[in-house]
Amino acid sequence: MFTLLITCIALPSAATELNTSDVSDDNAPAGPQVIHIGTYVMDFSNYNAREGTYDASFYVTLTSDRPVNITDFELMNGHADTIGLLVDTPTKKYFRVFASFDSDPDFHRFPFDRHALPIIAEPRIRNTSDLIFVIDNEATGIDSLASLPGWKTGKEQAHVMNYTYNGELGSYSRVVFSTYITRDSLSTFLKFFLPVMLIVIVSLSSLLMKVTSRLGLNASMFLAAVLIHWRIADAMPMVEYATFLDYFMIITYATLVMVLISGILILVYNEAKNTEMIGRINHWSIRMIPAVSVVLYILLFLTLLL
């Protein structure tokens, strides 16, 4: 009888402990913390294409079903100069950031180059087993008044990727917000191409001259093209690949060299009093050199459409 009484008292107690454990397990969050992040860019400034540096002013929104701490995250391609916290609740942070960034400019299409201005953030120590990012599309974008002098602001992109460091066992959730900019077309034409095209036009026009004095004119045009090329190329760093400008100047140099060669040949045959050869050189120079030059320029500019 005594044993039966002890058993009846113990069973409800064990059942209570079991039920309490079950409730606790059901309420405990499972899996990594999901943080919805949004970035709204207000403005860019001080962009240096040669160095790939720029400043940005933007708002950041962090929301989650668990407590969020802004000190758990860091900028991977820059540093924050100032951070102003506007909304501070356990599960939501809303703050404004003024930061300086670095980027990797692509000069293949220079001076029609397009660059990405990325804002890259990542958890300091928590990998994807503890934390993952999700883009908050409603809180992501760029202000319509955001601008950079001499540049046009294009599309924006936002995506999340898993990044693994060498020697690390786990990956980290990395969020990348990118804004694309391109040079202003009118400014590019006036500053880069108009002076060179005028030199080419003057040089090709000299083919109509049947005098030996055109040799000096073409030599001066060639020197002017070299100086302009040097001045324009100084605006970009030394890169290991040929840019659009390099190909453009190669065609320009080839055109000027062909005109120079025709002038030299005319000078040689003029001293030999060979008017027949002078006539042939003038005939073919006027027809071949401009045609070859125009075709090469057209093919080059068509590559911009690819």
pLDDT of residue 174: 95
pLDDT of residue 4: 35
Query: Which segment of 213-217, 288-292, 296-300 scores lowest on mean pLDDT?
Result: 213-217
Mean pLDDT for 170-186 is: 91
Mean pLDDT for 197-207 is: 92
User: Is this model's pTM higher than 0.85 or not?
Assistant: no
Say whether pLDDT at 281 is over 50: yes
pLDDT in tens, 110-131: 988 899 999 999 999 999 999 9
DSSP character at residue 121: E
Separation CA 151–CA 48 (nearest Å):
11
Separation CA 15–CA 22 (nearest Å):
11
Say whether pLDDT at 24 is over 70: no
Provide the 3-class DSSP secondary structure of residue 149: coil
Say whether pLDDT at 253 is over 60: yes
CB-based burial, 67-99: b 16+ in 10 Å, e otherwise: ebebebbeebbbeeeeeeeeeeeeeebbbebbb
Q: Can you name the residues that pair with 134 across neighbouring β-strands?
A: 36
Separation CA 129–CA 162 (nearest Å):
11
**At 202, is the pLDDT very low, low, confident or very high (cuts 50, 70, 90)?**
very high
Mean pLDDT for 143-154 is: 88
Question: Among positive and negative, which fits the CA dihedral 279, 282, 287, 289?
Answer: positive
Separation CA 209–CA 259 (nearest Å):
11
Angle (nearest 5°) at CA 190 between 186 and 196: 135
pLDDT of residue 208: 86
Separation CA 73–CA 86 (nearest Å):
17
pLDDT of residue 190: 86
**At 42, is the pLDDT very low, low, confident or very high (cuts 50, 70, 90)?**
very high
pLDDT of residue 15: 39
Q: Can you name the residues that pair with 115 across neighbouring β-strands?
A: 181
**At 27, is the pLDDT very low, low, confident or very high (cuts 50, 70, 90)?**
low
pLDDT in tens, 223-250: 999 999 988 888 788 888 999 999 999 9
Percent of the chain topping pLDDT 90: 57
pLDDT of residue 212: 65
pLDDT of residue 29: 62
For the domain covering 33-183, report its CATH number. 2.70.170.10
Q: For domain 187-305, say whether CATH 1.20.58.390 is its number.
A: yes
**At 188, is the pLDDT very low, low, confident or very high (cuts 50, 70, 90)?**
confident
Say whether pLDDT at 146 is over 80: yes
Stated as kind and residue range, the H or E segment containing 215 is helix 214-233
**At 211, is the pLDDT very low, low, confident or very high (cuts 50, 70, 90)?**
low
Taking the domains of the chain in order of start, what are their residue ranges?
33-183, 187-305
pLDDT of residue 13: 40
Say whether pLDDT at 28 is over 70: no
